[in-house]
Amino acid sequence: MARKLFGTDGVRGKANREPITPETVLAVAMAAGAQFTRGDHRHLVVIGKDTRLSGYMLEPALTAGFVSVGMDVVLLGPLPTPAVAMLTRSLRADLGVMISASHNPYADNGIKIFGPDGHKLSDEVERAIEARIVKGVSDDLAPSAELGRARRLDDALGRYIEFVKSTFPRQLRLEGLKIVVDCANGAAYKVAPKVLYELGADVVEIAVGPDGFNINRDCGATAPRHMQEAVILHCADLGLALDGDADRLILSDETGRLVDGDQLLALVARSWQQSGRLAGNGIVGTVMSNLGLQRQLEALGLDLVRAPVGDRYVVEHMRKLGCNVGGEQSGHIVLSDYSTTGDGLIAALQVLAVLVEARRPASKVLQVFQPLPQLLRNVRVGKTAPLEDSRVRSAIDEGEAALGGQGRLLIRKSGTEPVIRVMAEGEDEQLVGRVVKGIVETIERVAG
């Protein structure tokens, strides 16, 4: 069966509207719990969340679902998504669940599920969970005497902080560096400043006052302007912007210039190649990765393997190819020596290690290659299917012909939002702009 509930990154939507309702989330928990109930040991699931108001609604619904099928629940409270993946493995849990819609506004929410190995579920397992929901989960209910129990893990923050710090080279310190950290009023609002401070940095904190409504609002990795301005205002050496669940990272150098995920991938790949740590003779990016990154890696004798958009697919390709570095232009950086999913804080520390050893300004270190002009536009659509319209297909064909062999054109539906993403890149910036504009206008006309 095709997946209906699960998208690119778990289940996502408007809070208190299908599928993000207590009833549906309860069913997902019961089905997922039944799917991973194997053997006669006491089964366990860990649940974390970000700072959205709707987390208070979804956390007890998930807890009730898992308890009803006989699973014990450990509640972590607000904590980054990669912390949930780490603690799933550390506590030898059967499942890990993160309640978050990542970089989306507060009114959205979602459910991300990790298996016992700390990796996000495969399409096959997600289909199996959906099949259980369709069939009905009443047969999976535990006897009254075998219901699960729920408790909170009081030191979850401390465990994750120490784990993240352990990934930074022991011989290095961040003393002498002033760092602005933008926590997006999200899941890392406590842990990110503490990690940097405990490693010796002078930390300027912004967007660390979540109120249930302000997650990602004019802050974080998708809106880094305030972080850039704070870097200039405070004469900082670097700025870090995380998203709502802290699995992605965008940087700013000391001049306020942004550094995206492609540059971070190039930096880490080159550093790890020089130190003999890079596995798989290359890295895994996505179809969105800039051609400039590909050319930079080729100059180093390394490969760029392109996966579909979504850090879950990046990780699947990394495991298949034996690579230990992968990620997305948007800032999801996966370093599998340390984590099973994107981790903004761990990625930041690897970049900071390079910066400390180089003893040069961030502007001289972090711009590894010259990116080709690339333009991405998002077109919001309703329930129509404009990509199937002959007028849109003709516009796409014309755009590909105009770019010729000197660029790329990528049109895709978002897996997390009701939008179509139109991306083009090439040597000629004006031509790239015209191609994107023509396709976007056609889609808008067709979609109404």
Any domain includes 97: yes
> Quick check: is 394 catalytic?
no
Question: 219 and 287: one domain?
Answer: no
What pLDDT does 37 receive?
92
What pLDDT does 310 receive?
87
Q: Is the pLDDT of residue 208 over 90?
A: yes
Question: 222 and 291: one domain?
Answer: no
Instruction: Quickly state the pLDDT bin for 259 (edges 50, 70, 90).
Output: very high
**Which residue out of 68, 102, 252, 339 is catalytically annotated?**
102
What pLDDT does 40 receive?
87
Q: Is the pLDDT of residue 1 over 70?
A: no
Question: 194 and 268: one domain?
Answer: no
Any domain includes 354: no
Q: Which of 246, 271, 296 is where one domain is finished? A: 246
Quick one: what percent of the chain has pLDDT higher than 70? 99
Q: What would the pLDDT profile of 127-168 be if each residue is shown by its tens digit?
A: 999 999 999 888 889 999 999 999 999 999 999 999 999 999
Q: What would the pLDDT profile of 270-294 be if each residue is shown by its tens digit?
A: 999 999 999 999 999 999 999 999 9
What's the pTM value of the predicted model, to 2 decimals?
0.90
What pLDDT does 162 receive?
98
Any domain includes 56: yes
Q: Is the pLDDT of residue 416 over 80?
A: no
Question: 199 and 58: one domain?
Answer: no
Q: Is the pLDDT of residue 110 over 70?
A: yes
Q: Which of 223, 246, 269 is where one domain is finished? A: 246
Q: What would the pLDDT profile of 336-373 be if each residue is shown by its tens digit?
A: 999 999 999 999 999 999 999 999 999 999 999 999 99
Secondary structure of the chain in HEC code, one letter for each residue: CCCCCEECCEEEEECCCCCCCHHHHHHHHHHHHHHCCCCCCCCEEEEEECCCCCHHHHHHHHHHHHHHCCCEEEEEEECCHHHHHHHHHHCCCCEEEEECCCCCCCCEEEEEEECCCCCECCHHHHHHHHHHHHHCCHHHCCCHHHCCCEEECCCHHHHHHHHHHCCCCCCCCCCCCEEEEECCCCCCCCHHHHHHHHCCCEEEEECCCCCCCCCCCCCCCCCCHHHHHHHHHCCCCEEEEECCCCCCEEEECCCCCEECHHHHHHHHHHHHHHCCCCCCCEEEEECCCCHHHHHHHHHCCCEEEEECCCHHHHHHHHHHHCCCEEECCCCCEEECCCCCCCCHHHHHHHHHHHHHHHCCCHHHHCCCCCCCCEEEEEEECCCCCHHHCHHHHHHHHHHHHHHCCCEEEEEEECCCCCEEEEEEEECCHHHHHHHHHHHHHHHHHHHC
Average pLDDT over residues 29-58: 96
Question: 85 and 222: one domain?
Answer: no
Residue 186: which domain range? 175-246
Any domain includes 167: no
Instruction: Quickly state the pLDDT bin for 401 (edges 50, 70, 90).
Output: very high
Any domain includes 127: yes
Question: 144 and 43: one domain?
Answer: yes
CATH code of the domain in which 209 resides: 3.40.120.10
Q: Is the pLDDT of residue 217 over 80?
A: yes
Average pLDDT over residues 182-193: 98
Average pLDDT over residues 232-246: 98
Average pLDDT over residues 292-303: 96
Question: 333 and 424: one domain?
Answer: no
Average pLDDT in the chain: 95
Question: 41 and 133: one domain?
Answer: yes
Question: 70 and 119: one domain?
Answer: yes
Question: 239 and 285: one domain?
Answer: no
Q: Which of 219, 246, 273 is where one domain is finished? A: 246
**What's the structural domain count of the chain?**
4
